Amino acid sequence: MAKKTAISKNLSENIAHMEELFHTCDDIKKKQMNIGKDGDVACYLTFIEVAVDMGNSALLELLKYLRGLSREEIYEALSSNALAISDATYFTTIEEAGDGLLTGEAILFVDGFDQAVKIPDDGYPNMGVNEVDSEKVVRGSNEGFTESVKQNAALIRKRVRSTQVKVKQKKLGVRSKTNVYLVYMEGLAYPGLLKEIEKRLDGFEIDGVLDSGVIEQLSEEKWYSPFPQFQTTERPDRAAMSILEGRVILLSDNSPVALILPTDYDSFIKTSDDYYNRWEIASFERILRYAASFLAMTLPGLYLAVTNFHTQILPTTLLLSFAEARSGVPFPAVVEVLIMELSFELLREAGVRLPGTMGNTIGIVGGLIIGQAAVEASLVSPIVVIVISFTALCSFAIPSEEFATAFRLLKFFFIGICAWLGFFGFLVGLLLVLIHLSHLKSFGVPYLMPFVAADLNDYEDERDFLWRQPLRMLWKRPIYARKNNRRKLRIKR
């Protein structure tokens, strides 16, 4: 560990150390001035240019206050932290003061005082609270997380106003020194879970953490799996709901995406408004999403298995319709499916990368034009266009984009194995996926919960599963919460 330099009472020494630390940093402003009512106390103020507002801030008021004090009164105010600001932080080493400066606050050195004072201000510029783009809901809040970890923690506290909500701060990234918050409910979250999360966060060193996705990839136990073992959300209400279930939220500075852990397959299918809407429609929509997740992965492969190997299971009229539609198509069915799938994936990627309305236009117009032109040129049959379009609709119905990506990738695996082995290959592929899912765990919680291990919570998790029971019957928290504190609802008679 590098030796740290203690802050001296000699202001010129502190200035020399700070100048050495931040040489060739033209965006960092360094001001030497005199304070005190006699103007006899030298001080040194340094801050990042756009992060501090010198015209109208707590900093300006503090400097006005110090200009009205004598030398002895200034030292007394600094020593006793009587600066009339709540978030002043004192540093005893130059390195700590440098790190404090890089958080976007102002650092004040005073001649004759052997500590530096961090003075809070606006901090780095950010986009503010915006409407969430992903995870759209019909009913519920539209607020989304921001790129400021402090604002994100405040958005959670806004919804769960309990002293039991705890926030632990860590710094990740040797050079980026990114602030990471672990937010959880004391008494609900398992202490062992917190220790395991911190162990994994301490288990790697990297130059910089610029998004929560870096933490997710480096902390996953089965990193080779296409299925995410961390749930992501941009919705503060979803994060608050997870905290009340006993889960832990990981917030990373500069990222509007929070990580929820642990998680399971069922959690990715649920949405926030499942609990804001009536149980009948919520249950119907969940069943649709489960069916969509299955078809998004298997439908193209199942089409190939049936049309290439098991045509006898189709009605004769439908079979003749398929044959007529494919007349004139020069490619085998598997090539036909791959052409359309790859074309659609290219359109999806182009729509994401192109700006604003242009992206939406290329997705809609491109899909219509390419599909119609391919059919008219006899490159693909109309039935394949229908199959691929329906598969895409199913993938869009999955609430989590990251979770849907796993099915988009496995779709090509099923296309290959079904084109090779037919329906037998379809069953083999399904078995391999189920075996893989059964081996997955997210911080000790089985990924297929409550398909498996439902007895661990006395089958209570099955009440909020495929068929969501009425809200008045969901009186226990899921398995994530500590066993002795799972009761969450009491109906008063």
| 457-489 pLDDT per residue, tens | 888 888 888 889 998 888 899 999 998 888 888
| pLDDT tens-digit map of 337-376 | 998 899 888 888 887 777 766 666 666 667 667 777 777 7
pLDDT of residue 251: 96
Where does 69-164 have alpha helices with state H?
Answer: 71-79, 94-101, 149-159
- The Cα-based distances of 35 to 57, 304, 347 in angstroms read 18, 81, 63
The pLDDT score that the predictor gives to residue 104 is 81
| Alpha carbons 145 and 127: distance in angstroms, whole number | 10
Q: Give the pLDDT score at 381.
A: 86
- What is the pLDDT, as a whole number, of residue 267? 93
Percentage helix, strand, coil for the chain under 3-state DSSP, each rounded to 5: 50, 15, 35
The whole-angstrom separation of Cα 438 and Cα 433 is: 9
Structure tokens at 118: 């961090």
Residue 356 confidence (pLDDT):
65
Angle between helices 11-21 and 94-101 (to 10 degrees): 60
What pLDDT is stored for residue 264 in this prediction? Answer: 93
- On whether the CB atoms of residues 256 and 145 are closer than 8 A, the answer is yes
Pairing of strands 248-252, 165-172: unpaired
Task: Compute the distance between CA of residue 33 and CA of residue 43 in angstroms, rounded to an integer.
Answer: 6
Cis amide leading into 470 (omega within 30): no
427/127 Cα distance (integer angstroms): 49
- pTM of the full predicted structure? 0.86
Nearest to 407 by CA among 423, 422, 429: 429
Contact 359, 350 (CB under 8 A): yes
Tokens of 61: 């008021």
> How high is the pLDDT of residue 246?
94
pLDDT tens for the chain, 493 residues long, are 567 889 999 999 999 999 998 888 888 888 999 998 888 899 999 988 877 766 556 777 788 888 888 888 888 888 887 665 656 788 999 999 998 888 888 899 999 999 999 887 766 766 667 777 777 787 888 888 998 898 899 999 999 988 899 999 999 999 989 999 999 999 999 999 999 999 999 999 999 999 999 999 999 999 999 999 999 999 999 999 999 999 999 999 999 999 999 999 999 999 988 899 999 999 999 999 999 999 999 999 999 999 888 888 888 888 888 788 778 788 888 999 998 899 888 888 887 777 766 666 666 667 667 777 777 777 888 888 889 989 999 999 999 989 999 999 999 999 999 999 999 999 999 999 999 999 999 998 999 998 888 888 888 888 888 889 998 888 899 999 998 888 888 888 7
